[in-house]
Homo-oligomer: A and B are copies of this chain.
Amino acid sequence: MAATIKDVARLAGVSQSSVSRALAAPDQVRAATRERVERAVAQLGYEPNRIARGLSTGRTGTIGFLVPDIANPLFAGIVKAAQRRARDFGLAVLLADSDEDPATEIDLIRTLTKQVDGFVLCAPRAGDDELRSVCGDLPVVLLNRRVGQLPSIIFDNADGIRQALAHLAALGHRRVAYVAGPRTSWVNRERLRAVRSGAAGLGLEVVEAGNVSPDFEGGVAVADLVLAAAVTSVIAYNDMIGLGLVSRFGARGVTVPGDVSIIGFDDIPASALVSPALTTVSQPKDQCGRAGIDLLADLLNDRERPGSSRASLPTRLIVRASTGPAPKL
């Protein structure tokens, strides 16, 4: 059996309260007492029981981290960075994977809500109101999404799209297709908006291709439609769709970037490995995961940093082999 605070108190010849204070608020305790406690703690290898502490303080030292799909390298990267950072704060991370399903998102939050101190939520599908209400008054940091005034960290999607459009325009493209991802996705709407508003100024004509599932098959499925639209360039909601496009184009004898240029989003590992390697908008996953935890930790300590509770992280266009000059007509 592990040593309890009573054992420490007995060994040190002081009361439980003193032990508790010596550990939690060392300056409220006389130096002599503190030392006796410290010695006893060391001797017994005492560590406070987190559960018991949680019961009286109402804090568990655990946070919930929700992602739509941990198998997606973007989220895996974010989680990895977040979990490393959480360690620094002594926070444990409860992982929840919603499988891209809105109902599951809500469900998971609801069940976890009673065992965590706060949430970092990457919940692109759930409705705004539902999301807001289900968290109750727990501290929450949203990732990759804005809902009202809730603290959140997003990637600068608009700027990423702007870079992509500018890149295409500079290569002489006049018509660009945007292949939309899930209709319910906040990020998708954001990117779509950015495409619409950014294209005009660059003299680009936009064709919108229907909402497809954000995976390889989605890209394959929409490829022929894109081709029929007679565009010379495509911006895909994400890399997987982009890779699907590349693949189907190849099968159809359409060369990339000779006939059509393609830009993805996310910079997943595969994008650098395929040929032609995919030009893509990269997002600072590590920074996102870290910042999410930092922000939540601040919230947990009532230390609201007013400025930084709504960060927007810079995105960067990575030019690879899937984009080139527009074909001469």
In chain A, positions 247-273 with a C-beta closer than 8 Å to chain B are 247, 269-270, 273
Contact residue among B54, B69, B93 (Cβ-Cβ distance under 8 Å from A51): B54
Is A44's CB within 8 Å of the partner chain B? no
Q: Which of B49, B52, B69, B92 contacts A94 (CB under 8 A)?
A: B92
Cβ contacts under 8 Å, A96 to chain B? 83, 93
Shortest beta-carbon distance from A113 to chain B in Å = 10
Nearest residue, chain B, Cβ from A54: B51
Interface presence of A243 (CB below 8 A): yes
The answer for the CA separation of A270 and B73 in the assembled complex, in Å, is 11
Could you say which of B2, B55, B61 contacts A52, with CB atoms under 8 Å apart?
A: B55
Q: Which B residues touch A52, using CB under 8 A?
A: 55
Shortest beta-carbon distance from A57 to chain B in Å: 10
Q: Are B70 and A84 in touch, CB under 8 angstroms?
A: no
A50 beta carbon closer than 8 Å to chain B: yes
**A77: CB under 8 A from chain B?**
yes
- Complex Cα distance, B76 from A69, in Å, reads 9
Q: Which of A51, A73, A87, A275 has the most CB of B within 10 A?
A: A51
Known: A73-B73, A76-B70, A97-B80. A114 touches B274 (CB 8 A): no
The reply to whether B94 and A93 contact each other, CB–CB distance below 8 Å, is yes
